[in-house]
């Protein structure tokens, strides 16, 4: 039987997951408006985005509630399948949808980097470790990496907005480290979970991470964070620069007219 998460973990993870889904959709709504699309195309694009974000979150909730991703003594944990699925859909959508590609390429780099501040939610692993619900071998590196990336995000975003000589290499390194941290965390989680793949024994397992509410972190928040890193790297490696000065990109002053048009 999987450990029961405390009430605060339910609230934290569900609020974070819903907030990310809503914020991502609203961001796309703002981004797609100035692209010159017809009303019908814009509506269809946003409907598909809502279906993917909302439907994906709902599916993850069902998978977690039914314990479909849990491992057993002779059962390999299938938590990697939804993660791979979200990443595959995200990359496929990016390369097959010019609208999505144009919308994402319009996002200033400081925004793509700064949004990773939400990774500080990983600090909750340390609290769960302290109450003996997660193993230290998973909680410490996963939480340390997430919190470090989350706290560094606004700093790197500010440096990039200032456009110093080291801004681009720093942003690239930040994204690569951010992706590596997530890969390491998922790997440690899988190899500390019950099942034939388990490599680390002693103390609690990571069974909690395969059921609600904690399962939403690896199967929903983690792939979205990776896709955001990938979108940032795409722009950085392509040498794309925003039309607005870096400081304006960071403060959002250049985006206010677009937001005002959307609201009014």
Express each pLDDT in 167-183 by its tens digit: 999 999 999 999 999 99
Q: Percent of the chain scored above 70 by pLDDT?
A: 89
At 138-159, the pLDDT tens digits run 999 999 999 999 999 999 999 9
pTM of the prediction?
Answer: 0.88
3-state secondary structure of 21: helix
Confidence (pLDDT) at 1: 52
Sign of torsion over alpha carbons 87, 190, 5, 229: negative
Euclidean distance between CA atoms 176 and 90, whole angstroms: 18
**pLDDT band of 165, cuts 50, 70, 90:** confident
What is the C-alpha separation between 44 and 52, in angstroms, rounded? 12
**Average model confidence (pLDDT) across the chain:** 88
Question: If you write DSSP's letter for every residue of 38-75 in order, what string do you get?
Answer: -HHHHHHHHHHHHHHHHHHHHHHHHHHHTTTT--BTTB
Interval 36-95: pLDDT, tens: 889 999 999 999 999 999 999 999 999 999 999 987 777 888 898 999 999 999 999 999
Residue 173's contacts (CB-CB under 8 Å, 6 or more residues apart) are none
pLDDT at 240: 60
Cα separation, 167 vs 155, whole angstroms: 11
Judged on CB neighbours under 10 Å (0-12, 13-18, 19+), 172 is middle
Q: What is the pLDDT of residues 229-242, one digit of tens each?
A: 999 999 999 876 55
């Amino acid at each position: 039987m999987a450990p029961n998460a405390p009430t605060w973990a339910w609230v934290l993870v569900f609020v974070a997951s819903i907030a990310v889904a809503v914020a991502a959709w609203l961001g796309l709504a703002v981004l797609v408006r100035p692209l010159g699309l017809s009303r019908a195309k814009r509506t269809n694009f946003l409907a598909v985005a809502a279906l993917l974000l909302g439907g994906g979150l709902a599916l993850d909730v069902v998978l977690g509630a039914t314990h479909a991703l849990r491992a057993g003594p002779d059962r390999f944990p299938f938590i990697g399948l939804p993660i791979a699925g979200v990443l595959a859909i995200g990359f496929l959508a990016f390369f097959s949808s010019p609208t999505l590609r144009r919308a994402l390429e319009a996002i200033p780099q400081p925004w793509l980097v700064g949004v990773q501040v939400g990774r500080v939610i990983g600090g909750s692993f340390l609290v769960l470790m302290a109450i003996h619900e997660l193993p230290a071998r998973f909680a410490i590196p996963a939480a340390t990496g997430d919190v470090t990336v989350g706290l560094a995000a606004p700093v790197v975003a500010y440096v990039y907005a200032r456009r110093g000589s080291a801004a681009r290499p720093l942003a690239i390194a930040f994204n690569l480290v951010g992706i590596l941290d997530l890969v390491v965390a998922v790997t440690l989680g899988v190899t500390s979970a019950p099942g034939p793949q388990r490599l680390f024994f002693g103390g609690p397992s990571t069974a909690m991470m395969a059921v609600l509410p904690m399962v939403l972190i690896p199967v929903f928040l983690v792939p979205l964070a990776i896709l955001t890193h990938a979108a940032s790297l795409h722009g950085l490696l392509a040498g794309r620069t925003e039309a607005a000065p870096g400081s304006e990109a960071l403060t959002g002053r250049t985006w206010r007219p677009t937001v005002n048009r959307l609201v009014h």
